[in-house]
Amino acid sequence: MKKKIVLVGAGSVSFGLPMFNDLFLSNELEGCTIVLHDVNKNRLEMIYELLLTENERSNEKFTIDMTLDRKKAFLNADFIISSIEVGNRMKLWRQDYEIPRKHGSTQILGECGGPGGTFHAWRIIPSILEIVKDAEEICPNAFFINFSNPMSRVCLAIKRTVQKLKFVGLCHQIGFMTHHLPIMLNKTIRELRLKVGGLNHFTFLLGLEDLSTKKSLMSKFNKKALPYFQENKARFEFSSLTFEIFKRFGYFSYAGDNHIGEYLQFGEEFTNTQDMVDWIDLMDKEGKKIYGRFDKNFKLLKKGTYPKEGFLFNNRSGERAIPIIEAIISDKNSYEFAVNISNDSIIENLPQDLILECSATVNKDGVHGVKLGALPNNIAALLRIEATIQDLCVEAVLTRSKDLAIASLVIDPNVGSFKMAENIFNEMIELQKNYLPKFK
């Protein structure tokens, strides 16, 4: 199978390890050309040399190339997998978290929601739009896969900027749920079909089917969920906030407390502040650990003592980019539990240009959302609040409008006043002036 797959942000080791791992475990993609692209020359060269070595170990399974030139990378591309960040991710994330709270915001994390998520979006969207504009011009038939957060806002900006380019956003948060369901229901995950709907990090389990009997397992799940997850309570996953939402709204969110709480003013009431700080610290630690793995093996390579078993793993990561590419190439009509795509009548009572996280099928024509009809009114009401914020957030960065920027902050439930919004905006604009758009 001779396709061209471009990895944008290939020097991002936290993104790269699972992607490289899955590529080398794919038999269907053997013979493809893999192009590594990044703006960080040193990181790119390190990854390139390591993968050349892995490729040699795999009997030259792929043709591997690298380039700092994005336009060159995109020539005749069939698939583009993108995972970029702007600036020092962890340093900026801490600012996204700390500055809004300093001015009185109730946000709990500052990654994808709340005012911190808004500034994250404003920093990264302009760079991603340059990438997709190039892709649409150079390889309009390519399929674009985005991993960059804030997922919903980034994908909404892509949708409003390019018309021809097919794309999907992928997030592994569904893994929290797929880890527990087999234990909880005494079924393998392959025996289950989930139907989900909502926004990225703000999505609900709406259907659950036993594939062997075609019977719904939702009533069984609803009965078992609270006692099971309370017994397996985890401060970074399913804890007090998830349980409260389930009890009050009747539907279970699989994003975990630290993620769904970003979008809710009452998130702070049911989460522990130190847990959120510890989560950011954990992500920082994990990123350094993964980079250490690359760095250690690169040094061994240079010393001529590269491990015979290589540095990749022997099983798939669980990320869905490579399976989706395989499904498109092979026209598998496979089923994905959770992807991020444009609404387009998938959910009737949410904005139609909203980027949903929903279940989907995948074939040669791309990714197709499973129709859900109308959501329960209480869930739809929660999601519409965040949908409005995302709409203004994206329009603010597309138009460079300061008025819209302030508006998107002030209507956020985690802000709620013009004075607070302006104080946050003014300090962050000065603090992150090298990374944020020039609003007028």
Question: Could you tell me how far CA 49 lies from the centroid of its own chain?
Answer: 27
Render pLDDT for 304-352 as a digit per residue (tens, 0 to 9): 999 999 999 889 999 999 999 999 999 999 999 999 999 999 999 999 9
Q: State the helix-helix crossing angle for 13-24 and 41-57, rounded to 10 degrees.
A: 20
Residue 17 has a pLDDT of: 84
Amino acid (1-letter code) at residue 235: R
Residue 212 has a pLDDT of: 95
CB of 237 closer than 8 Å to CB of 252: no
Q: Report cis status (omega within 30 of 0) of the bond before 413.
A: no
CB of 168 closer than 8 Å to CB of 340: yes
CB of 176 closer than 8 Å to CB of 256: yes
The segments of the chain whose pLDDT lies below 70 read 1, 13
Q: CA-CA distance, 428 to 308, in Å (whole number)?
A: 48
Residue 1 has a pLDDT of: 67
Neighbouring residues of 93: CB distance < 8 A, sequence distance ≥ 6: 110, 111, 116, 120, 280, 283
Q: CA-CA distance, 282 to 268, in Å (whole number)?
A: 20
CB of 400 closer than 8 Å to CB of 438: yes
Three-class HEC string of the chain = CCCEEEEECCCCHHHHHHHHHHHHCCCCCCCCEEEEECCCHHHHHHHHHHHHHHHHHCCCCCEEEEECCHHHHHCCCCEEEECCCCCCHHHHHHHHHHHHHHCCCCCCCCCCCHHHHHHHHHHHHHHHHHHHHHHHHHCCCCEEEECCCCHHHHHHHHHCCCCCCEEEECCCCCHHHHHHHHHHHCCCHHHEEEEEEEECCEEEEEEEEECCCCEECHHHHHHHHHHHHHHCCCCCCCCHHHHHHHHHHCCEECCCHHHHHHHCHHHHHHCCHHHHHHHHHHHHHHHHHHHHHHHHHHHHHHHCCCCCCCCCCCCCCCCCHHHHHHHHHHCCCEEEEEEEEECCCCECCCCCCCEEEEEEEEECCEEEECCCECCCHHHHHHHHHHHHHHHHHHHHHHHCCHHHHHHHHHCCCCCCCHHHHHHHHHHHHHHCCCCCCCCC
| pTM, two decimal places | 0.97
Domains and CATH numbers, the chain: 94-116+170-271+318-440 (3.90.110.10)
CB of 22 closer than 8 Å to CB of 54: no
